[in-house]
Amino acid sequence: MELGDGLAALFWDDRWLNGQSVRELAPALYQCIPQRRRKSRMVVAGLAGNAWARDIQGVIGIHEIGQYLRLWQAVQHISLSHRPDRML
């Protein structure tokens, strides 16, 4: 997926981070996200005020914390544009 405005890309499931999904980059952290949120959180909403971090629920261990920090660093450099997202 080529990220544009973030309105069509699912934050947790689509491959919008350098061709990978959050599910692939942070599998332990992904398991801490309720399924209904995984299927509804768009990238634009997740990046706004780092709302994605508030999706995390349940027990957080050392692996999840490490993956959280890596994801935090990765999304801090994301800039959205005015053009629509594109499936490649």
17 DSSP β-pair partners = 20
Q: Band the pLDDT of 50: cuts 50, 70, 90.
A: very high
pTM equals 0.93
C-alpha to C-alpha distances, 29 to 37, 55, 73, 86, nearest whole angstrom: 13, 10, 14, 26
The domain locations on the chain are 1-79
pLDDT of res. 79:
94
Structure letter (DSSP) for residue 58: S
Torsion of CA 58, 63, 22, 24, to 10 degrees: -120
pLDDT of res. 25:
96
Closest CA to 29 of 1, 69, 2: 69
Q: What is the arithmetic mean of pLDDT over 58-66?
A: 94
